[in-house]
Amino acid sequence: MARITFLGTSNAVPDKDHESAHLLVEAGERAVLVDCAGNPVVRLDQLGFDPLRITDIILTHFHPDHVAGLPLLLLDLWLMGRKAPLNIFGLHQVIDRAVQLLELFSWQDWDDFYPVDFHPLPDQEKMSIIDSESVKIWASTTCHSIPSMGVRMQFPGGSVCYSSDTAPCDALARLADGVEVLIHEATGEGLGHTSPGQAGTMASRVGAGQLILIHYPTNVDLDAWVSQAQSCFSGEVIAARDWMHIQI
Ligand SMILES: [Zn+2]
């Protein structure tokens, strides 16, 4: 059985109860970190998950609340003695900038560094990222203020789609079509983002079984946020909370 843990659920301004949105996906031999907010090593330690077990990192886009933890994570894994290769996936613009970010820290001078395999992706829909027995992951470019992508995960027991940051978007609707669980951002309408009502409309449009709101402002009334989504979607709606798990 696969498990997704919400390591953070807030928008770009976290608080003591909410780290910025990022997820850990555990499925068979794969442990996939989706985005790198804060210092992921701290969150993973709090979860009781050995950071050395991470096999893959997916960077959805290059806003600081999604990637700023990457240099620290890579440094810490090296200091913890990692030898195994690490995959990093992202749109080509994101991978270019991630490499530039690491070069600012002169990471090429960190002796005996484990292999990091970058996988730059074109601006397309339904690109296959990971294709293993325990999980298949596809990504599509979406509609944010900078190049961003949503990801769809297919497990033996069901499917999950994560919007990451995007305005309501046809490409995301095609990626999420018929998904069991839609994890959708609910930052609020405008500037390449989505309101809870619009997230509910998207869940209805794709025929999702359940809607989980994420990347919400920490100062809003979450019950009202959920109600707004429910007014546009007849399935179950919940707001993600830090440390929440879903099993698929
Ligand atoms: Zn963003």
Q: Which pLDDT belongs to residue 169?
A: 94
Distance CA 42, CA 69 (A): 11
CA of 120 to the centre of ligand 1 (A): 19
CA of 49 to the centre of ligand 1 (A): 26
DSSP state of 69: T
| pLDDT tens digits for range 114-134 | 999 999 999 999 999 999 999
Q: How many CA atoms lie within 13 A of 67 on its CB side?
A: 23
Distance CA 116, CA 221 (A): 41
Q: Which pLDDT belongs to residue 176?
A: 98
CA of 216 to the centre of ligand 1 (A): 12
Beta strand 245-247 with 236-239: parallel, antiparallel or unpaired?
A: unpaired
Can you give the residue ranges of every domain in the chain? 3-243
This model's pTM is above 0.95: yes
Give me the residues near ligand 1 (ion), CB cutoff below 5 Å: 63, 165
Distance CA 199, CA 115 (A): 39
CA of 139 to the centre of ligand 1 (A): 16
| pLDDT tens digits for range 1-26 | 999 999 999 999 999 999 999 999 99
Distance CA 56, CA 130 (A): 9
Query: Any idea which fold 3-243 has?
Result: Metallo-beta-lactamase; Chain A (3.60.15)
CA of 64 to the centre of ligand 1 (A): 8
